[in-house]
Chains A and B, each alone.
Chain A
Amino acid sequence: MTEWIETFKIKFTNNFITDNRWKYLWDGLGVTLKVTFFAVLIGILLGFTIAIIRSTHDKTGKLKILDFFCRVYLTVIRGTPVVVQLLIIYFVIFASVNIDKVLVAIIAFGINSGAYVAEIVRSGIMSIDQGQMEAGRSLGFNYVQTMYYIILPQAFKNVLPALANEFIVLLKETSVSGFIALQDLTKGGDIIRGRTYDALMPLLAVALIYLVIVVLLSKGVEMMERRLRSSEH
């Protein structure tokens, strides 16, 4: 038993303490959170814009051309793996420019999550009773104002849990950032593995950190769902 503890201590020291190797995980976590956070922002912006265009088209038949481009975007993004998208954006689109990899990852994951957010929000908008739009319009609000004051707040509330889950998924998906040699959390663990030739401990640590964040976020979503339900107006 004591022998086992001794081995653990040595391995732990070797993997995390020596040469300040824990910093790979710490800095990597910072990158992961940064990429996720800003990708979420882009995803929301893009997703809402597309959802509004698509649902406006569905309901009124207007915005045909924009709707067409949105559908192409959705098909391409949801029909190809996110790693491939990341690689194309880094090695093809930004090939000739010297650009921060963090920024590339933010753009790639933002564009990717926008597609999923768009469909979530669109389903939220379409689930709002047509009478709400009519009530808004009958008061004299134009289409955009009715969307803004009446439809979107309700749609957003309905899809908030689904959106939150989407972002938990996104957090995990950023773990492929290593493909463009971005040192995120996963890559950080992998670098330690390369230095110490010990796979178990650094990768387990990485998994544990993701797990803790995801469990905490999921708990947050659960609480939010419960609060939304209890304030069901």
Chain B
Amino acid sequence: MNTKVLIKVKGLQKSFGTLHALNGIDAEIKTGDVTVVIGPSGSGKSTFLRCLNLLEVPTGGRIFFEGTDITDPKVDINQHRQRMGMVFQQFNLFPHMTVLNNMILAPVRLLKKRREEAVETAMELLNRVGLADRKDAYPSQLSGGQKQRIAIVRALCMQPNVMLFDEPTSALDPEMVGEVLDVMRNLAQSGMTMVVVTHEMGFAKEVGSRVIFMDEGKIVEENTPTELFGNPASERLKNFLAKVL
């Protein structure tokens, strides 16, 4: 097992005005790990995840990605984001483009890949998620589950070294949650490093290598799924698990 640290977070803080969403987060994301982040609503899970690729600019602390301090203002964050895929709760597909064009836009424009090459990669990924026949569809013609699977493979087209998921199944009808989790499970098995904010405790237990429990802008507990779910140490985690399990 490779234990290289891919992302290192040190004393991360984020305030929105007077509201302290993150109060000093320390964490390490190791290559190949699936880190699942759980916690009550408003605990700062999304903010933490969005700080990792600087969609939210931290107000304190540092984040090292592949050894580079990306919170350093001199760093060109766009370069680093190319290697960090992100999947949103609301999919955020580009509605004015077909599925295929959604997928090849960034590889062609940013990685300067030839169109044919980008299409080839995209089609392989579409096949993997069983949506090759939808390549010419527009996002509005897809179901929620299909949209999210496309959003995942769109991010994968950039061949990122880590994938960040912010509640990828929360906006889906229950019957579509499974198909998205399947894709994520396969991705994890293929060795992708993943950070997943989710309320799907089953997924956390089954797929997670580490689980982080957050509350009030802090990491309260961090452990393997077996330990964290089986032996919760803090009252807060016990209360939380009692509510969600």
Q: Could you list which residues of chain A lie within 8 angstroms of chain B, going by C-beta atoms?
A: 129, 131-132, 134-135, 137-142, 145, 149-150, 153-154, 157, 232-233
Contact = CB atoms under 8 A, between A and B. Distances in A.
Interface in B68-124: 78-79, 81-82, 84-86, 88, 90, 92-96, 105-106, 109-110
A153 B141 CA distance: 19
Interface of B: 53, 55, 78-79, 81-82, 84-86, 88, 90, 92-96, 105-106, 109-110, 138-141, 154-155, 158
A140 B82 contact: yes
B92 A134 contact: yes
Contacts of A150: 94
B86 A138 contact: yes
B218 to A, nearest CB: 25
Contacts of A131: 88, 90, 92
Contact of B94 (A132, A140, A145, A232): A132
A149 B102 CA distance: 11
A233 B97 CA distance: 8
B14 to A, nearest CB: 16
Given A131-B90, A135-B88, 20 more contacts: A131-B92, A132-B92, A134-B92, A135-B94, A137-B55, A138-B53, A138-B86, A139-B81, A139-B82, A139-B105, A139-B106, A139-B110, A140-B79, A140-B81, A140-B106, A141-B78, A153-B96, A232-B140, A233-B95, A233-B140
B109 A141 contact: yes
Contact of B78 (A132, A134, A142, A232): A142
B110 A140 contact: yes
Contacts of A137: 55, 78, 81
A134 B106 CA distance: 14
A233 B95 CA distance: 6
B29 to A, nearest CB: 17
B49 to A, nearest CB: 11
Contacts of A134: 55, 86, 88, 92
Which of B78, B85, B90, B141 gathers most chain A CB within 10 Å?
B78
Nearest to A138: B86
Contacts of A129: 90, 92
A230 B204 CA distance: 42
A149 B105 contact: yes
A155 B29 CA distance: 38
Given A139-B158, A141-B106, A233 B96 contact: yes
18 contacts: A134-B88, A135-B86, A137-B78, A137-B81, A138-B53, A138-B86, A138-B155, A139-B105, A139-B110, A140-B78, A140-B106, A141-B110, A150-B94, A153-B96, A157-B96, A232-B140, A233-B96, A233-B138
Pairs of residues from A and B, 7 with the lowest C-beta to C-beta distance, nearest first:
A140-B82, A135-B92, A233-B138, A138-B86, A131-B92, A139-B106, A140-B81
A154 B81 contact: no
A182 B14 CA distance: 61
Contacts of A232: 140
A129 B89 CA distance: 13
A134 B79 CA distance: 15
B107 to A, nearest CB: 9
A153 B78 CA distance: 21
Contacts of B139: 233
Contact of B155 (A139, A142, A153, A233): A139
A153 B138 CA distance: 15
Contacts of B92: 129, 131-132, 134-135
Contacts of A140: 78-79, 81-82, 106, 110, 158
B52 to A, nearest CB: 11
Contacts of A132: 92, 94
Which of A131, A134, A138, A157 gathers most chain B CB within 10 Å?
A138
A157 B94 CA distance: 13
A138 B86 CA distance: 6
Nearest to B85: A138
B140 A138 contact: no
Contacts of B84: 138
Contacts of B105: 139, 149
A32 to B, nearest CB: 35
Nearest to B151: A135
